[in-house]
Amino acid sequence: MSIPVPFKSKYVGQSVKRVEDPVLLTGRARHIDDLEFPGMLHVAFLRSPHAHAKIISFDVSAASALPGVECVLTGAELKEETRPLNTMPGIASGWSGYAMAADKVRYAGEAVAAVAATSRYIAEDAAELIQVEYEILDAVVDPEQAALPESALVYENQESNVLFERNYTYGEPDRAMKEADLVVRENYRFPRVSGNPLETVGVIARWDSVADELTCWTNTQSPGGSIRGSFVNPPGRDQITAQPHGGSFGTKMGALLKYEITAALLSRLCDGRHVKYIEDRMEHLLASSTHAWDRRYEAEFGFTSDGRCTVMKVRLLNDVGSSCENSAPSMCWKPLVMLTGPYKVQHFEYDMAAVVTNKTPEGAYRGYGVPPHTLVIERLMDKAAVALGMDAAEIRQHNFIQPDEFPYKTPTGTEYDSGDYPAVLQLALEKANYEGLKAEQQRRRDEGRLVGLSVVFGIEPGGVWAMTGPFRDWLGGMGAINPESAAISISAEGTFDVELFYALEGQGQPTFATQIIADYFGVTMESVRVSQSDARNPAPSMGPAGSRQAVVLTFALIGAADKLAARLIRVASNLLQTPADQLEIADGSVQLKGGQGPTLPLGQIAATMTFRPDLLPDEIEGNPQVTYTWRANRPVDTEGSPYLSYANACHVALVEVDRATGQTSIERYVIADDCGTRLNPAMVEGQVQGGVAQGIGATLFEEYVYDEYGQPQSVTFADYLMPSIYEVPMTEKHAFVTPSPLTALGVKGTGEGAIHVTPAAIFCAVNDALAPLGVELEHANAKPERVWQLIQQAANI
């Protein structure tokens, strides 16, 4: 594979070991719960046992009297000091509560009071002593019922529970549907799931009202922001910093806000002492604002008799839970950037609505809404294939955007950058021995066994650079750029120090940053150190999200390296009395282009800048450090794509469903994927395999279940089943590389690709397994009890 790199590539493209591993392997990384400060207080929350209830009164006297308790704060008191959680512009305004419930609770587990005490043990004791009187209200649980006019209201300031309704129509879907030779339709449900990183969400706040500043140490994915706007009397300045995370997957963004606000207020009330709150696992499962994709779909696709898909209609009902306290409901919009998947379809109707209910608020999760949409597309492609007597692979090949059609403009205005879908599919089929698998399936079906085979395809929007295009509607017509920065300095010894503006998260950004900078300057990886900036005023950064870091950080790193290189060459030009345009950087030195003549080690140039600035040209800063902030040079308009790269993948799965138990076992799992240039193939494989595991979790095990009263039934890892090594197949992964023409080095984002495609692969395979019984699963979570019930139904037909 050739990498389109502007430098000699020794490390880029290699599966080098990760530079961040030693601190992680020895337990020395400092996570948020590892930070200790003198006199630090610990928070425990009292949480509502009811899904929907008015708060009549609080009695905190016993809690306040407990030795070791420094402060008790009720939701009613917090409300006086803060603003509603959602302070963003846009359509979600007016649809959130406060950091704690003040007048009424809207989900079971919502915090109603907080205690700060000298230990977490005492804080929890005290929380139990708080008395709250409730008047229980009818819980709004079912999203379809929630939309009805007679439903109880989650927000009395609103006319209904319908948060938004939108219709996006492209082409003439009604006419196309009428003209279709074949129409397939189905209703689907996707389970409420979440990222569930092994480390929960946490914060330490210190609000010193004398110094007039607030500092929050957190494990947020996007440090550097501000929460000043959340307070009636805000601090003069605030700083949000981030520690290394024990996994995130989108959960460590908006979910932090309610805890930051509460811990900050408690700190202010306790004379600026440090105040720590770490969710325990039950709190995370019960009440962290991270639940995602509780969705119902009605979908209808039209085809010609020869298997060409001409029209897609998808109607989405999204249950956002009780609050729009973060931007998560914008996950409904993301499918607009890949609405037709890898297929050429000109007529599309995407009709979406979201309702609030008395459940835990929605939060971002890896994939940001694309996985359920991909599942709907892929399952209906399968249904059409069956109806037309075509093979699953054949119908996809028949509808693919072709390699010579890139850049391909989708009906919504998105431009897919590059790809070769037929080749990726072909690679997967070959490696899987697809024909052999089909024969094997038939042989076992003949024995009466339930064996399913799926071939599915998905698109991964990556490198999110702006909240533009479809997201502007969510933001009330506004757009926002999501820049990324990197800083580089060089020492007199010729070593490089690279700073990133977010915390260690696990995907390996420090490693590929080391690879890129070492190659750029022609030095060893050992000469490059990457760390997180501790700048008081950090350069702009969005951090990891939207499969973006391979794309945006690569841009930022190369931009910073170019800036530093130009400065070093300018100084060298002066020292060597040689025009700058005749010089280049190679092997850690400045040399004459072509390699002839004297060389000047980069460290020596840095030493000159630091110790002999009198030798510098006047216009050159004597500072061997640069910061570069990258932004895409594209218009922020209502058209266009918020994503730069479109990776793609084909998954082939062979499963068997046990007739007696309804349990699905995955026997073979083959992946071919194209994420452009692979900076570090082993890290890409890790991202893919991790996404597969989460996709399998969502479709076979994980689900947040609520009863008819809105009581959560999945509040431990014994109820919310995370896949273990026994449940996750060892997949066979194959790379296909089409470098992106729009990104530095040809990379495409790859953090989310596998979770986009895996739910579809499992769902389609399970349905294929059940096909001989004449039953079909509509709920995307194919847990044994659900499948078993279907098998019983079939037996009774």
Give the footprint of another protein on residues 693-732 (CB under 8 A).
693-694, 716-718, 722, 724-726, 728, 730-731
C-alpha distances in Å from residue 628, one per residue of 488, 554, 569, 748: 9, 12, 18, 21
* Residue 294 lies near another protein (rule: CB under 8 A): no
Contact 406, 398 (CB under 8 A): no
The one segment of 21-29, 265-273, 635-643, 786-794 that binds another protein by CB under 8 A:
21-29
Taking the complex as a whole, the smallest distance from the CB of residue 293 to another protein amounts, in Å, to 17
The yes or no reply on residue 689 touching another protein (CB under 8 A) is yes
Site of tokens 């996994």: 247
Residues in contact with another protein, shown as a per-residue x/- string from 32 to 61 under the rule CB under 8 A: -xx---------------------------
Contact 222, 502 (CB under 8 A): yes
Q: Restricting to residues 608-647, which ones interact with another protein according to CB under 8 A?
A: none
- Least distance CB 286 / another protein (angstroms): 13
Contact 478, 516 (CB under 8 A): no
Q: How far is the CB of 30 from another protein (least distance, A)?
A: 8
Minimum Å distance from CB 393 to another protein? 25
Beta strand 213-218 pairing with 237-242: parallel
Task: Please list every residue from 729 through 748 that binds another protein, using CB under 8 A.
Answer: 730-731
Q: Nearer Cβ to another protein, position 533 or 758?
A: 758
Residue 470 interacting with another protein (CB under 8 A): no
Please, which residue, 642 or 751, has the CB nearer to another protein?
751
Tell me the backbone φ, ψ of residue 495, rounded to 5 degrees: -95, 155
DSSP secondary-structure letter at 485? E
CB of 243 to another protein, least distance (A): 12
CB atoms within 10 A of CB 600: 21
DSSP structure string for 155-223: -TTSSSSEEEEEEEEES-HHHHHHH-SEEEEEEEEE--B----SS--EEEEEEETTTTEEEEEE--SST
Out of 506, 510, 746, 753, the only residue in the binding site for another protein (CB under 8 A) is 506
Any idea what the Cα angle at residue 35 is, between residues 30 and 39, rounded to 5°? 170
Contact between 526 and another protein per CB under 8 A: no
Could you tell me which stretch among 47-55, 194-202, 389-397, 631-639 binds another protein (CB under 8 A)?
194-202
Closer to another protein by CB, 283 or 417: give it. Answer: 283
Of 70-78, 130-138, 602-610, 682-690, the segment contacting another protein by CB under 8 A is 682-690
Cis peptide before 372 (omega within 30 of 0): no
**Distance between start and end Cα atoms, the chain:** 55
Name 268's bridge partners.
Answer: none
Window contacting another protein (CB under 8 A); options: 348-356, 552-560, 654-662, 685-693: 685-693
- Interface characters, 121-150, with another protein (x: CB under 8 A): x---x--x----------------------
Q: The tokens 């606000």 sit on which residue?
A: 261
Contact between 305 and another protein per CB under 8 A: no
- Residue 462 CA to residue 419 CA, distance in Å, equals 13
Contact stretch for another protein (CB under 8 A) within 27-35, 320-328, 368-376, 593-601 = 27-35
Decide: helix, strand or coil at residue 38.
coil
**What is the C-alpha to C-alpha distance for residues 399 and 401, in angstroms, rounded to an integer?**
7
CB of 611 to another protein, least distance (A): 31
Length of the chain: 797
Q: Which of residues 246-275 bind another protein (CB under 8 A)?
A: 246-249
Options 5, 11, 18, 521; binder of another protein; rule CB under 8 A: 18
Smallest separation (angstroms) from another protein to the CB of 688: 8
Amino acid symbol at 797: I
* Least distance CB 505 / another protein (angstroms): 7
d(CA 368, CA 481) in angstroms, rounded, equals 18
Distance CA(598)–CA(576), nearest Å, equals 8
Closest listed residue to residue 114, CA positions, set 41, 26, 28? 41
Footprint of another protein (CB under 8 A): 15, 17-18, 20-22, 24-31, 33-34, 66, 121, 125, 128, 195-199, 244-249, 280-282, 504-508, 682-683, 685-686, 689-694, 716-718, 722, 724-726, 728, 730-731
